[in-house]
Amino acid sequence: MPTPIKITAGSISVTAELDDTPLAKAVAAKLPYETAPNEWGDEFYFGFPVQSGLDETATQKVKVGDIGFWPPGNAMAIFFGPTPMSSGPDPVPASAVCILGRITGDATLLRKAIGAPRIKIEKA
């Protein structure tokens, strides 16, 4: 069963859910988590205290609203629009990410949070 979460960056909050995979469950077990986000186009990414290699969900084909885990950096990635590697409207990660879940609300609202000093992920 998916785990409902809330993502807050600055004054913007969106609803999301984490899948029922072993990696997503490991992430959910570490919530709440708050940190300073990095930005890469319309993507927030940040170190997260979980380690994993690529799993069965690993892909470079992500969509706006996907939440991924980037194993080389032990980082969570939240995609809300094109990244510097995109050639169209879909985000393209730097390399394969494991899909953790997705934003269930309007992911593009996070564009208004670019420059936010903190991001918080918590169970809803």
Share of the chain above pLDDT 70, in %: 100
22-60: pLDDT as tens digits: 999 999 999 999 999 999 999 999 999 999 999 999 999
pLDDT at 59: 97
**At a CB cut-off of 8 Å and minimum separation 6, what does 123 contact?**
3, 4, 5, 6, 28, 31, 32
How far does CA 62 lie from the centroid of its chain? 11
Q: If we measure between CA atoms, which residue out of 96, 92, 40 comes closest to residue 70?
A: 96
pLDDT at 57: 97
- Cis bond leading into 32, ω under 30°? yes
**Structural domains present in the chain:** 3-123 (2.40.100.20)
Q: If we measure between CA atoms, which residue out of 41, 45, 11 comes closest to residue 116?
A: 11
Average pLDDT, the chain: 97
List the structure tokens of 53: 């290699």
The three-state secondary structure class of 97 is: strand
**At a CB cut-off of 8 Å and minimum separation 6, what does 2 contact?**
17, 18, 19, 20, 101
